[in-house]
Structure formats: C-alpha cells, structure tokens
Structure 1
Amino acid sequence: KGKSALVSTGRVERSQAILQSDTAQHVRLTVARGRERDDYPNSPMGAVALARQTFYDVDWYGKAWAAYKADNKLSRPERNEALAALAPYLGGEKPVIIDAANEQFFERADRFARELGLSIIIRGSGREYRRLDLVRASGRTIILPVNFPRPPKVGTVEESLDVSLEELMHWDHAPENPARLEKAGVTFALTTYGLKDAAAFLPNVRRAVERGLSADGALKAMTVTPAALVGAKNRLGSIAPGKAANLVVTDGDLFAKKTKILETWVDGRRHEHAPDPKTDVRGTWAVELGGADGRFAKAIVQLKGSTKSLHGTIRRDADGTDKKDEVKLAKVSLRESQLHLTFEGKSFGHEGVARLSVVVAFPPEGKKTWLGSVLWADGVQETVKAEQTAGPTAKDKEDEDEEDKTDEPDGDKSVVKELTIGEKKEEGTEGNKGNEGKKEGGKKKEPKPETPALYPVNYPLGDFGRMAIPEQPKVLAIKNATIWTSGPAGKIADATLLVQEGKITAVGKDVAIPEGAIVIDAAGKHLSPGIIDCHSHMATDGGVNEGTQAITAEVRIGDFVDANDITIYRQLAGGVTAANILHGSANPIGGQNQVIKLRWGLPGEELKFKEAPPGIKFALGENVKQSNWGEKFTTRYPQSRMGVEQIMRDALSAAKDYQKRHEKWAAEHTGLPPRKDLELDALAEVVAGKRWIHCHSYRQDEILALIRVCDDHKIRIGTLQHILEGYKVADAMAKHGAMGSSFSDWWAYKFEVWDSIPYNGSLMHKAGVVVSFNSDDHELARHLNHEAAKAVKYGGVPEEEALKFV
C-alpha cells in the first residue's frame, strides 16, 4: 500500500494542512477482493510472499549500491526508486503500519515484522481480547477501532437461528476490548476507522470507559499516544508551551454520557458547537397568510422541543385564545435559515396537506421574522409572513439540554441486550428508534447502564471453545486395553500404557504403575496411535492455491494456519492428531507445506509441528497444464505434460545455479551481492535434500518422468500424492525411495484416473513402498480408520499393517 500523511483538520490552505508528508508505510498481508484468477498475487499467502520478497529486495538493493559505491569498478546496479523509498522502513527508522483484520492476522503481522526486523504499528480489529496474552507478549502498539457490533437480531426464531454463539459473544465482549488491553499494559491509540458514522466515535469511547477503560487511559489513547505514533509528540498531544493550540472544551467530564462538547480549537482557531441562539426558531409566531384576493388569514404557530428535534402546532385564530382549530405540525425542519412546515389545511379551508416554506430573518436587534409562501393541496399558493412574539419556554430549554447530553448517533444505540426471543422491545432499543428518551411517569428515561460481559472468553471464541488447555497429569496409566502399537510388538491384549508428562514411557503386559498415577481402566476398549492425515487442506485461511504463476515456491501455507477452523475440532473427534497441510495443485511447483498437530484452543504458531521436515507441493497432470480451467486459460506455460516435465527440470537447474552464486559470494565477497530470491531459496532446499517434494500425481508416464528428473538431480521424492496408478510403477517407486500417499478407493472421477483400482494401496505396499491413505477432504478425514480397513478388504493387508497406512 502507500504512505500516510499527518494532516491538520483546521481551515487552512491544503499546502498548510500537511504537517508531515511521510508518516508511515502501510502494508496489508492479504489481497483485495475481486482480483482476476491470473493476477499475482490472488491469495493471502501470495500477498505475504510478495511483501516479504519486496523487503528482502530492499535489503539487497541497499547492499548492492553500498558495494558499488565502495568499488565503482563493479557493474552499476539497477535504479529502483520504490525500493529506495522503502529503505528507512526496513531499518526501523520509520514505522510500518500493518492491517490486522482479526486476532490471527495480529499474530501473522507480528511474525512477519520479526522476520524482517520492521518497526511496526498494528491497525487492530477490536478482537484483540481473544488472544490477549499473545498481543501483550508481542509488545506492539495498536491503532484500535471502537466499531462495536450492533445487537444481533434475535427477535424471531428464524433470526436467532442465523446468529452464532461467536457473534453473540463478540457483541458482548467487544466494548471491553480497550479496557482489557489497558489492563494488560498494551499501548494503543483509538481511531474512527471502521465506523460508518464518525460521530459514533465519542459515544463508543464512552461505552468503553463505562465497560472498564480508565478515563485517563481513554484520553491518552486519543491524544498523547497517537501524537507519539506519528512522530509529532513535540507538537501535538498535550497542552504545553510551544505546542499547537488544539483543544476540546466541554461542560463536564469528557467521558460522561451527559457531557456536551462546546468548542473545538484547531491551531488556535475556535470552532463552536453549541446551538447558536440567533438561529433558534422555537417559540410563538404570529402568522399572516395572504390570499390572492388581498385578504389575510391570521394564525398562531407554536414551535417546541429541542433545536435538533422540533415539533409544534398551528391554529387559525385572530386573537390567539381559541384553540379549537389547533392541529399538529406533521413535519418541522430548519436548514440554516430555511424553515419548512407541513400540516393539515382543512381548518384554513383547503383539504389535504399544506406545505409552508419560509426564510427566517435573524436580525441583531429586534424581533425575528418570516417571509415565504404556503402551497395548499389544491394548488393554490399564498404568501406568508410572521413575527416572533415569544421565545422558547423554560421547558424547551430543558429539552435542549437533555437531548444534547444523551444524544448518540443512529446505529450505535446498542446498550440494551436483546437476547430473549419474543422479548418485548424496550423504548430506545434497536428496531424502536425514535422513542429513546421519551418520558415515563413524567420523568425522562435514562439510558440503561453498561453491564460487564456475561461469559468469559474461550478459545477459539464461540462454540466448542476451551477456557484453558486441558491439564496434563504427571503420570497417566491406561490398563487392560487392547493396544495397537504400530511397532514391532504389534497388537497387545490386556496391556498397560504409561504416560509421564506427555511422553509414553512404557507399554506392555507387565508395566508397573507408579503410586499417584491417574489410572484409567480400558477393559474392552482399544488404544491406537493418533491418526496422521498426509494430505489435508484444513486449518488454513490463506487460500489453498496461489495459482497465478507456474512456479510459486515462495508462498507458505505456514503463513496462514487457521487455529479457529472448526475442522480441527471435528477431526480430533475422528482420531486425527496431526496433518500435512498442502498447497493445492494449480501449478507444476506450488507453495510450501505445513505439518500441524491438532491442538484445539491454541494459537496458530503453536499448532506447527516444528520437528516435521519442511516440504513443497509439486503437481502433474490436468490441473497444472490448465486443461480443466476453461477456454480462457490457454497461454500460461506449460500447456502440455511434456512442458510440465521441462519446467520442473529447468527450475531445479536454476536452483542449483542460484545456490552456487550464493555460496561463492559467502566465500569470496567479490562483486555485487546476489539477490535473495524466495522462490529459488525454497527450490535450493529441495536440491539440497532439506525440503521434501509432495507431488500430486495420477498417470504412470508422468510419475516415471518425475522420478527420472529427480534422479538426474540426485533428489529423492518425499511422497507421490494420490498416486492412483502407483500399482503400475510400484517397482520404480520402491527403487527410487518415493513413498505413496493415496486415496483408498476413489476412481473414475476424471479422465486421468480411469485406471484407478481399490487394490492400489495393497499392491504398492507389497512392492516395498511406504504407503499411507489420506483424505484430501474435511469430512473423510474423520473416518481414516475406515479408510485403512479398506486395505484389508482390497488386498488382504494384515490389520496391524493396514493401521500403519494412517
């Protein structure tokens, strides 16, 4: 994104309004909606990869020019003003503001900044309370919105079914977010960003104060902290000699609901907000309506209420005493000096609605007057003039004060908790606007006070969230179980398993149970290792594919681990304890994988299985050559299976050359430093055997071609995914050392899988290939034990061996 500027809101020339033209660089770690399928990047993980590469390019650019200036015999580096402009941000000299749309993006922004050494400010989401410990530990300053959600609509059974528990809990907790951050010691500045109406800002800050934010903390978050964030604390943010005279004048505590802002001063210029008594039209008016025949009808108009909510009456009367013809004004509006009234014209001899429009004169001295016309429903138009005979009453002034003190912008009157289906709506609640503040028993109704959140925060927020991670007993013994070890011991009946501090310490028939252990009697039950899904696309919200280019090795599934994905919870119920989250198959060489442990309730970083070897997605067949994308997608190379083989061969050769250049520079430090290329970095790890290839594959010819390419580069394939014709090339797979992760019994769902058979897994297993059955599907993953059983049915694989498939 672009850079922001610090601008004065005073009434000055545009050139004088800019106080600071280069305040911060803004970054968004996702993509805008509506991008074309072939526009890079078109996925959130692609956006992060692009931003990461850009900052690495900034670093390289600075080093390259430094080397050239030290030795002008070197080739002059390219000139790139964009990279030069970003240099102060990479070094932390100036701040970078990163958008964080939710608590998970907060974690990602912090991790991104730490990798690159950026000094960042995070534009928050109002959801920081959901991961408060993580936010506090980051030490980041937040630009915090106060766009608290409106009350969910639960007035009918049908509406209530559409509201999730997460929505209800967020509505309940959101106003306490600032208070919780303050209590946690997090520095934040408040912003109007996210509000549909900026006028809701102060009322919402007052709500936050009522829900626990200190008044001093709120004031600091609107003055001192934002001034410091934009590098203007010497000029703005507090009242002190030498600083700009930017002031707010109120008639009480700024954060009290009934306090009224009287004046705002910007750069020493005064801006009054109190109603100007000179433009007050409330009171009694003697009106003359002139007919075409020269005769005049006299009337009395009474205007009452507050200046923001006028109402009144009109009556035809000569002396002002007879009220029998008095009618209510249907509408009263005043815009500057233009006054408009509508009323029923029957008492004046005209059926239908009359519309009166006049200009009000407010002389410095003397009485206020009107001049204009009235249009009757029958089309007759007459002149109107009037003179004010009495000003507003004491009661009108009282109404004015009350309205000013309780006024809140429409759309943010969410102080009443409407949680009961069928509950009668209170006056002033959503759905009954306009009645707020009406009298009851002769007294003005006060707004209901804010109440604390009804329930504590769970993780993830909403259905099935946990209050805390389950306590792990120091010693746990499970006895009398049938234990499937998936090891040399095979299946052991009436056995005991001993776990100490999360690690298995003993398994067998004659295991001594230590004193004090928690003992579970599992008689009649079976115990097996946790299931591992070797091909999954769950728990990521960064897009499964960055399919805009043929090679996107720079993107990382690990940048977008979605710890809130309910699929984690559901698959835990099916016995899955770990999963290999893969990039999709949109390109020959896709992005980097992420192996996770299914730790429901923990943040994304703590799901990552750090000991698992890193991997990358390769793919063959219809998907990558775009033959099933539609007629528009016929120009991206490669468009044939031959081209797929060639682009992989070329990419691996390029990675070798890239690695040699970097090794030479590291040893000699001669010439310009080589540029860090994240795409080639990942492929260089493949060539070095540090990153496993997981390749989407179906047909035997393509599988053999890939094996030959990797043999030529001395690379061993990690897994061939899907591998539905693996039974045809099982000997070649075993010789190469490639493992196969297959579907158990999927076939004929597209042309290139027509030769699939349910015996595929058992045949590969018998040929000496390490075989697993995977899901590639959120629902199927909950039944992987059943998938393993199919190896017993199709091919007679022993039960103990079949379990190892998952």
Structure 2
Amino acid sequence: MMRKLLLACLSLWFFSSHAQDTFTVNGVKDERPGLHAFINATLHVDYQTTIENAVLVIQKGEVVASGKGVKVPKGAIVHNLDGKHIYPSFIELSSNIGIPKADRNGSSGPQLGPVKDGAYNANDAIKAYFKAHEAFEANDSDADKMRKAGFGVVLTHNQDGLVRGTGTVVSLHNGPENEIILKESASQHFSFEKGSSTQDNPSSLMGAIALIKQTYLDAQWYKNQNEMVDISLDAFNKNSIYPQFFDADGDKLYVLRADRLGDEFGVQYIIKGNGDEYQRLEEIKATNAQLILPVNYPEAYDVEDPFDALNVSLEEMKHWEMAPENLKLLTENGITYSITSDGLKDASKLPAMLSQSVELGLAEEQALKALTYNPAQFIKMGDKLGALTTGKYANFIITDGSPVRKDTKIYENWVQGNPYKFHDYTLPELAGNYKLTVGSEDYQMEVKGESGKEKFKIVVNDSTSYDVASEISKQLISLSFTDESKDEAGKIRLSGWLKKEGLSGNARMPDGSWAKWSATLEDEDTSVDAEEKEEKEDESKASEMGSLIFPFVAHGNSKKPLEETILIKNATVWTNEAEGILESTDVLLENGKIAKIGKNITSSGAREIDGTGKHLTPGIIDEHSHIAISRGVNEGSEAVTAEVNIEDVVDSEDINIYRQLSGGVVASQLLHGSANPIGGRSAIVKLKWGYSPEEMKISWADKFIKFALGENVKQSNWGERNTVRFPQTRMGVEQVFEDAFTRAREYEEEWEAYNSLSKRDKVNATAPRKDLELETLVEILNSDRFISCHSYVQSEINMLMKVAERYGFRINTFTHILEGYKLADKMKEHGVGGSTFSDWWAYKFEVNDAIPYNAALMHGEGVVTAINSDDAEMGRRLNQEAGKTMKYGGVPVEEALKMVTLNPAKLLHLEDRMGSIKVGKDADVVLWSHEPLSIYAKAEKTIIEGAVFFDRDNQIEKLDAIQAERARLVAKMQGEKSNGKSTQKAKPKSQIIYHCETEIQNYSSLK
C-alpha cells in the first residue's frame, strides 16, 4: 500500500515538473514519460466528432492517439471512464489573468499632456508598447476558477487604454511562467475606453474614435520618417501582423462602430460584443466580423411591486427574455463567434447560461465549437488547440454529460497533461428517489446533492420528512435513521455497498436483530420519452418568446418602415414654392419622391390617405439638434478638436428620434457642443426610426462643423479648476481661430509641395504627417466644409466674420445668434444665415440682450433665418416655435413655416431635395390635423422618402401593444421568482439629454 502511495505522489510530482528541463531538480530526476490512457469513454474529439467506447492516449502533455480500437500502450496509466465523457477544454479569448491592474497616475485637475515618461505617444491612452507576456504573473487562484469552469487556455491582455498592446496565450497549468506561456505575442487589442489615463483627451466616445484613427495615420507616417522616436507607434506597427481584437464595450452599435473604424484602415477586427447583437442582425452580419460573445444573461427583475415594474424599460424586459437567443440567431445567420465567460461574476455559471441558449434552440455542437474550435482559429493556434487529435495539447475535461448543460459535472480538467481534480468520478451518482426496503418495511428515500456531498432524507408525505445520517467511503455506505412512525422508536442502522443495480446490505434494527436492506432507484416518468419531453419543453419555451422590434425600444416596429406609393387626396398643400398654398390638392408619393401635385390624381395600387380638412407641409428640418448622440456631445479637452465627428457616434436607438417624428421633424443636423472654439464635425441625418446609423445619414449632404464663441469656450462657467486650457478670454478665442487657420494653410502648402514632386523625387522624400484636425480645417478654407457657429454677442460675431474673410471663406450659419438683430445687415453682406430660438433669453449673462423679435428682424434684412431646437423637448414643437415669429414681428405665415422647413434646408444645402413640396424632391412630408403653425396642430403622419415613420392613427394600438407586452413580461418574471430563481432589483435609469452647453461628458472608462 505504501509503495502505491509513493508511486502516486511521484507521478503527481512528475505531471507538474516533467517539462522543466532548464530548472535544477532537487533530488532524483523523474524520467517517466507521463503516459496515460483513458478507456471506455464517450470521446468528443472535436465539436462535431463523437466516438463511443473510445480510447484517448496522452504523453508529455500532448495527444498521442484518440479513437475507437486504439491500443493502450504498455506502461500507460489506465483510467477507466465507463459512462463518462471527454471534451476538449475551453479557450477564453477575453481575459486579463495575470496582468497587473493599471494605476491612475496623474493630476486631479485638468491634464493636457501625458504623464508617462519616455519616448512614448503624446496620449497616455495609446499603450501599444504594452507586452502582456512580459507583464504576466501567474495567479493560480484565478486560474483555478477558470479550470473549474472547463477552460484550459486563455488569451490574456491588458484591459486598459484605447490601444492596449499585445495579448499572450497562456496555459492554465500551475507551472512556471516560461512553460505556461504558449504564444508570447498573439494579438493586438483595442477598445473605446481610455482606461487609467487621466489625460483630458479624449473626454468623449467620438474623441476616442478620432484618437484611434489618428494613431493609425501616425503609425503609417512613422514607418517612413526619421525625425522622431515614438515607442508606442513603433510597437503599433510591429503588432499589426497579429490578429486585431477590439473590445466594443457598450451595445450592438459599438460593434458596428468598431467595424466601421477598421474598414477605414483596411483592418478586419475580431470584435468582442455585448450579447445584444440579435437586435441588429442584418447590420452585424454585413460586417463580416468574427465575434467574441458574452453570455452574462440578465436575471429577471423583481417586479412584484407595480411601481418597481415602472422602473424597468421595455427594452430591458425584452432583452432579459431574448438575450439567451442571441447565439442561436447569430448561428442561423452564419455569423462566426466564440464564447467568453467575461462578464460573469463566476465563470462556473457558464454552463447554466449556455443551457438557457440550448433550451431555446442553440445546437450543442455550435456552443462547443464556439468554446473550442473557433477561439483556436481566431488566435491561429488550431494546430495545437480546440480538438483532441494527435499532436495537440492534452487539454480536456472529464464530465458526466454535455458541458453546455447546467447540471453537468466536470470531474477533472487536464491541462497540458496535468490533472486538476474537482470530483471523484469513481463514485456513483446517487441523487434521486429510492424505494428503501428494510426487512419487511418500505420507505421513500430522497437523495440530493453531488457525489461526496449527498443529503439523505426519508419522505413520509409532502409535509413530513426526517433526515438520514450518512457516511460513504469508496464503495461502502452507512446510513442511520429513526422511524418516528413506530411506537417504540429506535435507530435503524444500515451498512452496505454501492452497486450499479442499487444499494444493499445488512441492517441492525432497534431491537438488536439483523435484517437485509436494499434501495432501488425509482424510474422517472416514462409516459413520454425523455428526449421527446425535453424537446417539447424547449419548443414551449421558444414559443413564449417575444418578437424583435426595430429599434429595440418602446415604440419600435416589428418591421422597418418601407417606401410605399402613397396618394394623399384633397389636402391643403403648403408648397413653400411660388405656387404657395394649394387648396383641395392631391400629392402622389412614388419611389421615395414627390411624383405629382394636382387635382383628381389617380394611381393604381397606391395607398390612399384622405387629406380632407388636413394640411400637408414639407417635413420639418432641425438645423441645430443634439439628439441621437452616444457618450458625449462635447470633446472639450482641447481648444481645437476638428478631428472628432458626430457621424461616428450616431445613436439610432434614441427615443427622441420617435418623439420628434411625432412633431413632424424629418431631418436634423446633429451638432457637437460648444465647449471649445473649434468643435467637431456634424452629422446630418433623416430620422428613419428603426434604421441603422449609417442608413440614417444623408450620404449626399455637404459636410459641416461646429464652431463656438462666448462664455463656454473660454470656460468661464466651468468652475475654478478649469483655468488651464487656452483660451480663457474672448481675445484668446480669436487667436485660436487665427492660429488654427494659419497652421491649416501651412499644412496645405506642405502637402501641395510634396504632391508636386516627381515620382522619382518622392522616393527620397517623406510625405507630411496626415493630421485629421488640419485636414478638416483645410476643407473649411477650400469651402468643402461649412461652419455652423454657436454665438451670442455682437462683437464676437463680427470678429469671426472678419477672420473668415481674411482667410478667404465665409461662415455658413450663426446658430443661437440672439444678438443677430444688431448686425443683420452685416450678416447679409457676409452671406451668413441665422438659426435662432424664437423666445429664449436671460438664461445667462451673454443673452441678456436677446429679444423675441430677433428672427423677424434678421428675416427682414434678407438673412436666411431658421428656428432651431438645441433641445430634445423643443424639437417636438418646432412648428409652434416658428409660429411665434408671427406674433413677434409679424412674419407672414408661409415665411414662418419656411423657418423650420425650407430655410434650414438652405442653411444645410439640402434645398435641392428637401424643404418644399415640389415634383422630384424627396417625399419628406407631414400631414397635419390643423394649420401647421397652430398650437392645435398635430402631426398625423410623418413620411420620409415615401415611408410612414410616424402614424398617429395607430398610436393607441401601439400603446396597447406596449402595455400588453409589458404585462406578459412582468408575468413571466413573476413566474421566475415564484419558481425560486434569483432576481435583480429594478432600478430607474435616466437619459442624459444633451444641449450645446452640456458639460464635458466623461464616459464610463473615467469612472
């Protein structure tokens, strides 16, 4: 016995040390080959190949042979796995195991530059120099948690910064680091989170995207220059040979943003998603990206209290229900993905989560593929990982069933031929209901718990039971209990054996006599075949699922609105053209255009809408809006941020899109805020509710940018700590413009000089560094991009017009422009338009001179004048805001309507296709219940390019449907709670409604 024990100890020592050839051995070196044979197993060679009664042979951490009929080598340690399964161990691609947590080093106040010493990048969030394999420190405690969940290998990397450096592939074997690092540099990593950097820039999502773009451009330039050393850029270029991973933390739109960024530079990222990709399947599929998907499905909400239920949005409720379907839907759409445990509080919850997906129709083979084969391919290690064929690492788990089912037990996880044991598979599984016979007495005995932790109980009836003391040692079992139903109660003691056919042995009765006993496992309900029953349960669960809506929020539609042929009959048509207002007129919308205007129009197959007593106008266009923007409207970290672009952060899921459609708005210019003199580029979109961000953008529109003047840009209202960033005075604001355009002219000249070189001369010359900020300013100088400038005070408005004239261009629009009435003649002479509020004033010092006659006075001087919102709420009633110009200044009714339709179209250079009802223009129209500028007017139908995006006629039906869906989901969540499943507390969530003056929005990475 002692000899066997010694051999076992030596064997275990060898498993953890056999490859340490470079280490000194303390004692006698063990030369045994680590040869093991696993027999009688159900062997899952890979995700799609299963062999019954198979043999797996491993030696020195690798698979030697696998399959049926494989001969057991002489001298191999044999493991009989009768009734057990062997699967390849899982591979985790989103991990930071063994990577030290980054510290936040920097000042608590404004920090304009980097704090990292050395020849590194100008921004601390660019950490391409980080090498995971150099920083890695083995942590067996964390590794053990992953091993217990079935993982054998992880790709670990620094989860800090926008560009995070390289990842390293690490074995979860508890060995020395020079053995367990399987691939030093396997990947390069990116994210939208700047992480531990305390540098001000970037302070917004669009700023983060712009910085990554600039880094790509700088890295391309860096290859061919010899002017400077940048360790970050050098590493960035070297790391480009590896698979590129992008952690798109946020929601499904972040996946699209990451892919769009990669497309711009010819890079196909492997993208870590968020588990809600099913909500934008069509767009996600079009990326052709391979995904890494979490399975941290949300728990049901505790909605017993009806007021608590009000704190849970329809989106949250539906995502709780549909999140487990994500993998199945992606599989059906041919999207390749791997599964990560990242996001789970405990990796051991992985099987329970996957079990939910399997119950909803995900094939087990697909789940296994996403845990083994796919991740191995993603990191280009398919030759060593992901299957159990000859030459691959001996990474496998021993289970009692499928590891993607919640009740499956992982007995052992072998990593590179090293065993990690969690349960003893030689012990039988006893859980179940038994008929216990002791002598002539029968009892019902219930056994619960896993092997080695069983709890025995005698069940009398539904309300009465008593515990049975138990002790199990290998194949021996001892039980004892008191039969309380007997008059002369005494302890019955059982001693026996564990056998395949059940439990049996001898009993010592209370009176001292002996009897035979046996316990036979009772058959479960066999009235329906078990597999058939399970299938029916799965089908039942699937049938209870709600449907997708677009977008995935309340008021989303089951289908995206599509262009129709629509004939509006007998309406009062406000054309905004020379024809003026046409009574009792028909308008035909066809192929997304206005096809005909007149009387008695007919069109076969057209959808007819009765316009009798109603008014048809062009759709409202909001020249100045901040809705539908993700994670920050201001990149105010620097005085000039012309590199950032609202187009990168359009949020198609914002409920304010739908709300503004209900007010007749068909298009908006989404503007950067007013935190700095030169802000970001704008996005001009049509409010196509349910469509993707790219589909909302008006592709043919001219390009615009936001400038700003006044208190905001000099940080006078930002608090005492913000006194570092230039400018701090209105004089300084002018110098920012002068400096920016001077630099832009020099930049343009530098490029012109380079481009004028012959091909031969270019070979010996270095191309100038491409600068996104200066590229944008050059566009302004050349009238390829146009300025919409936040403005209040007359003196500054004059100043910026003069700056523009000195540099040979014109300001396109002064927005806000509450002192426009003071210099409307100069605005007319300069050629600039004004987009203003109807009656906002006195909300800060620099608007004290605002008057409600401003719009009328500018209009009277011939300035193209528009009324804008700058506010999500006001955006729903711009028709009424325009109507106020009739009261304040007597603007004619048709001219007042133009201030929210044709005039903003002119200011945004859209008037050739929008802003009036004219044959050939886009079918962007609104049908109103009353005269459009009346306070009683309601937008009944808002139509964009011939598709009805808002229809008041079906609002009651839509609200009823929302109510019914919420009620269904509340009942389903209550059922979860009543069935004993854990729930989460309902917490209200608020939405940030952006304005020009919304303070810098530090996104989540800065928390």
- TM-score, with structure 1 as normaliser: 0.78
How far 1:309 moved relative to its partner?
5.0
Say which of 469, 473, 495 aligns to 2:564.
473
Which moved further from structure 2: 6-15 or 758-767? 6-15
In structure 2, the CA distance between the partners of 1:273 and 1:750, relative to structure 1 (3 Å rule), is same
The letter for the 1-side match of 2:219 is V
Letter in 2 for 1:777: D
2:581 aligned partner = 491
Task: Indicate which of 7, 13, 27 corresponds to 2:190.
Answer: 27
CA distance in 2, matches of 1:257, 1:196: 16
* Counterpart mapping for 1:508-523 below 5 A: 508=598, 510=599, 512-523=601-612
- Whole-angstrom CA distance in 1 between matches of 2:890 and 2:575: 20
Q: Describe how 1:672-683 pairs up with structure 2 within 5 A.
A: 672-683=766-777
One-letter amino acid of the counterpart of residue 275, structure 1: D
Identify which of 844, 850, 853 aligns with 1:759.
Answer: 853
**Equivalent of residue 363 in structure 2, options 194, 214, 217:** 214
Task: Name which of structure 1's ranges 654-663 and 719-728 shifts more when overlaid on structure 2.
Answer: 654-663
Which of these residues, 50, 53, 72, is aligned with residue 214 of structure 2? 53
Q: 1:248 to 1:688 in 2, by over 3 A?
A: same
The residue number in structure 2 matching 1:347 is none
Q: Displacement of 1:63 after TM fit?
A: 2.9
Deviation at 1:231, TM superposition (A): 1.4
Aligned length, in residue pairs:
671
CA displacement at 1:606 relative to structure 2: 0.7
Q: CA 1:440/1:163 → structure 2, altered by over 3 Å: closer, same or farther?
A: farther
- Matched residue, 1:356: none
| 1:238 matches 2:332 | no
Asked if residue 2 in structure 1 is aligned to residue 192 in structure 2, the reply is no
What is aligned with 2:376?
Answer: 227
Q: CA deviation at 1:6?
A: 0.6
**CA apart distance, 1:491:** 1.1
Equivalent residue in structure 2 for 1:86, among 223, 236, 244: 236
* SS state at 1:262 partner: strand
Alignment of 1:192-207 (within 5 A): 192-207=341-356
Pick from 176, 179, 183: which aligns with 1:16? 179
The change in CA–CA distance for 1:396 and 1:665 in structure 2 (over 3 A counts) is: farther
- Aligned position for 1:664: 753
Aligned sequence identity (%): 43
Pair 1:779 & 2:912 matched: no
1:348-497 correspondence to structure 2 within 5 Å: 390=495, 449-450=537-538, 451-452=541-542, 454-474=545-565, 476-497=566-587
Among candidates 502, 512, 521, match of residue 592 of structure 2: 502
How far apart are 1:128 and its partner, in Å? Answer: 0.7
2:922 alignment partner in structure 1: none
Partner of 2:201: 40
Counterpart of 1:134 in structure 2 is: 283
Within the alignment, does 1:603 sit opposite 2:689 as a pair? no
Aligned to 2:336: 187
SS for the counterpart of 2:877 is: helix
The corresponding residue for 2:122 is none
How does 1:71-82 map onto structure 2 within 5 Å? Answer: 76-82=226-232
Cα distance in 1 between the residues matched to 2:430 and 2:176: 35
Deviations 1:157-212 (A, max 9, x none): 22222222211211111111111111111111111111111001122222222211
Name the SS for the 1:527 alignment partner: strand
The 1-side partners of 2:834 and 2:670 are apart by 16
Where 1:609 maps in the other structure, the secondary structure is coil
SS in 2 for 1:63: coil
Shift of 1:270: 2.6
Q: CA deviation at 1:137?
A: 1.3
* Deviations, residues 557-580 of structure 1 (Å, cap 9, x unaligned): 111100000000000000000001
1:239 & 1:251 partners in 2: Cα distance? Answer: 18
Q: Which residue, out of 659, 663, 668, partners 1:570?
A: 659
> In angstroms, what is the RMSD of aligned CA positions?
3.3
Q: Distance in 2 between matches of 1:63 and 1:256?
A: 54
**Deviation per residue, 1:642-697 (Å, 9 max, x gap):** 11011111101111111111122122136321101111111111111111111110
Query: Residues of 2 paired with 1:559 and 1:367: CA distance?
Result: 67
Q: Label 1:135 to 1:271 Cα distance change in 2 as closer, same or farther (>3 A).
A: same
Q: Deviations over 1:359-411 (max 9, x none)?
A: x999x99999xxxxxxxxxxxxxxxxxxx99578889999xxxxxxxxxxxxx
Q: What is the CA distance between 1:797 and its match in structure 2?
A: 1.0
Aligned in 2, Cα 1:50/1:802: closer, same or farther, shift over 3 Å? same
Retained in 2: the 8 A contact 1:35–1:42?
no
Q: How does 1:298-337 map to 2 (within 5 A)?
A: 306=449, 309=453
Give the SS at the match of 2:374. Answer: helix
Structure 1 position 20, deviation (Å):
1.1
Pick closer, same or farther for the CA change 1:261–1:723 going to 2, 3 Å.
Answer: same
| SS, match of residue 223 in structure 2 | helix
SS in 1 for 2:561: coil
1:533-577 per-residue CA deviation (whole Å, 9 max, x = no partner) reads: 111000001310011111111111111100000000000000000
Give the alignment of 1:646-665 within 5 angstroms: 646-665=735-754
Structure 2 Cα separation of the partners of residues 255 and 680 of structure 1 = 53
State whether residues 270 and 289 of structure 2, in contact with CA within 8 Å, keep that contact through their aligned partners in structure 1.
Answer: yes
Q: In the alignment, what sits opposite 1:170?
A: 319
Which whole-Å CA distance do the structure 1 matches of 2:272 and 2:447 have between them? 45
Q: Give the structure 1 partner of residue 674 of structure 2.
A: 585
Considering Cα pairs closer than 8 Å and 6+ residues apart, tell me whether 1 or 2 has the greater RCO: 2
In structure 1, C-alpha distance between the alignment counterparts of 2:403 and 2:673, rounded to whole Å: 54
Q: TM-score, normalised by structure 2?
A: 0.63
CA distance in 2, matches of 1:725, 1:640: 20
Are the structure 2 counterparts of residues 725 and 164 from structure 1 closer, same or farther at C-alpha, using a change threshold of 3 Å? Answer: same
> Which sections of structure 1, spanning at least 5 residues, go unmatched?
65-75, 283-301, 314-325, 335-359, 369-387, 399-438
What's the offset of the Cα at 1:471? 3.5
Q: Distance in 1 between matches of 2:821 and 2:608?
A: 46
